[in-house]
Structure 1
Amino acid sequence: MVRFKNRWLLVEFLPSTTFKTSTKSSSTHEITSKQIWSALKQNILSHFGDAGWGSVASSLTIKYYSPQTGICIIRVARDHHKVAWAGVTLLSNIEGHIFVPNVVHLSGTIRQAQLAAIEHNREVVARYRHQAGTPAAYQDSYEAYLQTSTQEIEALQD
């Protein structure tokens, strides 16, 4: 029996406030995982051609996307994960919104990607709380978000 080996990319899409390609605001709340997949497909096609897209097309999927924190978990075949990584890195525009993609973590199992995503969510929430000037033990809506996002991420299946 042959097992398909995958790589899991944890990517954070940071909205760029410097430039705007349209009148829409650069907010991660307005994009979806389908739009990310479509933009990634077009980016790989434009930079690597049909051969590059053909190498990752059958295995490239967006498993999770959080509009609140802008993190995304992408699955791709192990043999061609560098093409997908390069495509993500070169991605700058999704549906008229300019983003700076930041590959936070690369792992071989979904479990390690889940743990990295949960830890990254906690860091982002801590960053938001610091910007707001609230103490670390303060109970707010971020606590509910952390609980629900942790449950969603842990529910992901390969």
Structure 2
Amino acid sequence: MVRFKNRWLLVEFIHVPEQPKPNTAPAQPPALDSKKIWAALKQSILKHFGEIGWGAVSTSLTVKYYSPTTRVCIIRVARDHHQIAWAGATLLSQIDGAKFIPHVVHLSGTIKHTQLAAIKHDKIVIARLRAKAAQATKNGIAPPDTHDAYLERSAAEINALQDQ
């Protein structure tokens, strides 16, 4: 029996807000999901590496997890062609018409190490969100703190991922 070897990419999508028009509120980042990210990766790989590049990664490229709160994504791809997927993610500039900067946080050969890195990264992002909330509280705005519940829920979702 032959085991297929994979690489796991942990990618954070940082939204680049457009310049708001005077006297308007800044626009909220668009809602993303796994299907939109996969389609954007496909278009990026086709654009930069052509049909041969897409043919190399198409059978193994999957988006296994996406968190809309922290904008962290776990992508699985075959070990032999992970450089194409990594480059395609890095060269990605737009998803569904909105500008994003993809940041590859972690690369691993096992899903377990990627899960650990994702949970650690989630804690860092939540700490940043808490700092912003504390600043807003000082300014008179007191948002509810739902971050502990999110961390528990996301850790459970990430740990439930299987290497398939």
The two structures have a TM-score, normalised by structure 2, of: 0.87
Q: Following superposition, which runs of at least 4 residues in structure 1 exceed 2 angstroms of deviation?
A: none
The match for 1:3 is 3
Equivalent residue number for residue 140 of structure 1? 145
Residues 64, 161 of structure 2: 8 Å contact kept = yes
1:31 Cα deviation (Å)?
Answer: 1.3
Larger gyration radius, structure 1 or structure 2: 2
Alignment of 1:7-156 (within 5 A): 7-18=7-18, 25=27, 27=29, 30-133=31-134, 140-156=145-161
Where does the alignment leave 5 or more consecutive residues of structure 1 unmatched? none
- Distance, in Å, in 2 between the alignment partners of 1:4 and 1:16 is 36
8 Å CA contact retained: 2:17, 2:29: no
> Percent of aligned positions with the same letter in both sequences?
61
- Deviation string 1:60-100 (CA, Å, 9 cap, x unpaired) is 00000000100000000000000000000000100011100
**1:12, 1:156 → 2: CA distance?**
18
How many Å separate the matches in 1 of 2:28 and 2:93? Answer: 12
CA-based RMSD of the aligned residues comes to: 1.8
Please report how far the alpha carbon of residue 18 of structure 1 lies from its aligned counterpart in structure 2 after TM superposition: 4.2
Which consecutive unaligned segments of at least 5 residues does structure 2 have? Answer: 21-25, 136-143
- Tell me the matched-pair count: 150
Q: Partners in 2 of 1:55 and 1:25 — Cα distance?
A: 37
| Partner amino acid, structure 2, of 1:15 | H
